[in-house]
Structure 1
Amino acid sequence: MSQLPVPGRDTVYVWIGGDAGGRPAAAGRPLRRAAAALLGRPDAEFVVGHRPGGGPLVRFASDVDAAPGPAEVPASVSRTGGIIVVAVRAGGPVGVDVERCRPLPALGLAGRWYDPAEAAWLAGRPPSGRERDFLRLWTAKEAVGKALGVGLRDGGLRRRVPVPDGAGPLLRPVPGSPAVRVGHPCTGGDLVLAVAVAGTAGPVEVVVEETVGRDGQVVEAVQRAGHGVAAVRSASVDRTSLPVVVRGS
């Protein structure tokens, strides 16, 4: 798990794992492990709690000297259909949301809930990918709401987000909120993942680690916003209960 984030670079670490035998998986263990990977500290040094609004809070144990890292690590959690996703970021607020792509009345839902410009964009998309495009917008709105600490309250579904335009997995500014960025890191299978950050004007690196066992592969995808880099590295390994990272050369 060492050498994942680049020291001094604003980084979001995202971990994707399976549920616990059909039951919702507890988020505490992956949140501690993600914070450990992000900051290069043993996971036993972290404790997980909840913020007053209900969101997760990762912090150093009271008897551990956190210097030079932060005393608290902003975090976010999302679940869908047997999958749990956690995200941590030392540089400021973070939000994550995940959905499984599935049949749904995309145009009807977009016309009811989305900004008219987004609904029109979706109507012009190829029908074969319309459900995924709808969920890209949905997850982006959820992730932005989590990063801002407001969720989807007060018309959050009407909040404009950048529509996918072939720019890849880069985190892009939210219309009207240049300090908030959102994007869709690469994932495998039928998952649609969105990551958002708040309080930044510069590039953010997103490290995604998947351990959900598609064909026995561990996949790590790295996106460096502002650099146009998207690399996927994979290797067959024995399955473990915690993430195993296989770095490319």
Structure 2
Amino acid sequence: MSQSAVPGRDTVYVWFGRTAGDRPEAARRLLRHAGGVLLGRVEAEIRVGRDAAGRPFVRAGDAADLPVSVSHAGDAVVVAARRAGPVGIDVETRRELPAVTLARRWYAPEEAAWLADRPAERRAEAFLLLWTAKEAVGKALGRGLRDGGLGRLMPRPDGPGGLLRPVPGPGGLRVGYPRLTGDAAGDRVAAPAPTGGPTPFDAAAGPGGPVPFDAVAGPGGLVLAVAVGGPVDGVEIVTD
């Protein structure tokens, strides 16, 4: 991504980085970079930290805090930011797990049934896609998985619609599963929300059509979900 955001567009920017050591410091570095780009300040003026509830903040001077979200998985660190409105992000390492058993314990019955109908080799991935969506939505709401967050219904990863799709229930939230490509996570991807826009688009999620289930998570590597409050003009993912 260029070092300045596109004026007049409410785009969710996702910075992806890797670290061999201090994940919190890697996250702070990405947060400062996000603040510099979206607040139009030099990074030395950007303050990052966590509030009393543990949520990350990015601020500069008297300006309002920049909405941000952070997640880690293994050596991967991701930061999501936008100029206005809630945002949440979650990333998980793809791995084998007892997906059906866990879904029946924690997810809504219809989600557990959908997952059980997936091919056996896809169930762990399906479980993690729903999990990251629930985590991202919880972060956008500001309460994580508390108050029944694991039972909150999510749009199915193989369902119709654009990249960011409405979360069932009140609140006006949307969630989607941007594809991570390239080196385990990260060639640049620009993907428009259902409202459209002129940004380029990865073939993993064509606007207005079904998202192929085997395309929403790249081979191996990571699974990612992004949640927003209200419509946005696009999602742009960039490696650090």
Same fold (TM over 0.5): yes
- 1:43 deviates by 2.3
SS of 2:175 mapped into structure 1: strand
CA distance in 2, matches of 1:22, 1:169: 36
Residue number among 193, 201, 211 corresponding to 2:224 in the alignment? 193
Provide the alpha-carbon RMSD of the alignment.
1.9
Unaligned runs of 5+ in 2: 185-220
Question: Following superposition of structure 1 onto structure 2, how do residues 56-205 of structure 1 map, counting pairs within 5 Å?
Answer: 56-61=56-61, 66=63, 71-165=64-158, 167=160, 170-177=163-170, 179-188=172-181, 189=184, 190-198=221-229, 200=230, 202-205=231-234
Partner secondary structure for residue 66 of structure 2 = strand
What's the secondary structure of 2:123's corresponding residue?
helix
Classify the secondary structure of the residue corresponding to 1:54: coil
TM-score, reference length from structure 1: 0.75
Range that drifts further, 97-106 or 173-182? 173-182
Unaligned stretches of 5+ in structure 1?
211-242, 244-249
Q: Structure 2: how far apart are the matches of 1:115 and 1:35?
A: 37
Higher percent of residues as strand? 1
Any runs of at least 4 consecutive aligned residues in structure 1 with deviations exceeding 6 A, and if so which? Answer: none
User: Given residue 128 of structure 2, which amino acid in structure 1 is its aligned partner?
Assistant: L
Q: How big is the shift at 1:167?
A: 4.6
How many residue pairs align between the two structures? 201
Rounded Cα–Cα distance in structure 2 between residues aligned with 1:74 and 1:82: 24
**Most deviating of 37-46 and 136-145:** 37-46
Indicate if the aligned counterparts of 1:172 and 1:181 stay in contact, CA closer than 8 A.
Answer: yes
Q: What displacement does 1:40 show? A: 4.0
Distance 1:191 1:169, change over 3 A: farther
Q: Deviations over 1:112-153 (max 9, x none)?
A: 000001011111112222111110000000000000001001
The offset of 1:23, in angstroms, is: 3.7
The TM-score with structure 2 as length reference comes to 0.78
| Whole-Å separation in 2 of the counterparts to 1:205 and 1:39 | 18
Q: CA deviation at 1:99?
A: 0.2
CA contact (8 A) 2:12 2:232 kept: no
Counterparts of 1:42 and 1:83 in 2: how far apart (Å)? 25
Give 3-state SS (helix, strand or coil) of 1:134's partner. Answer: helix
State the Cα deviation string for residues 86-130 of structure 1 (Å, max 9, x = none): 111111111110001001000000000000010111111122221
What corresponds to 2:207 in structure 1?
none
Counterpart amino acid of residue 10 in structure 1: D
* Structure with more contact order per residue of length (Cα contacts < 8 Å, sep ≥ 6): 2
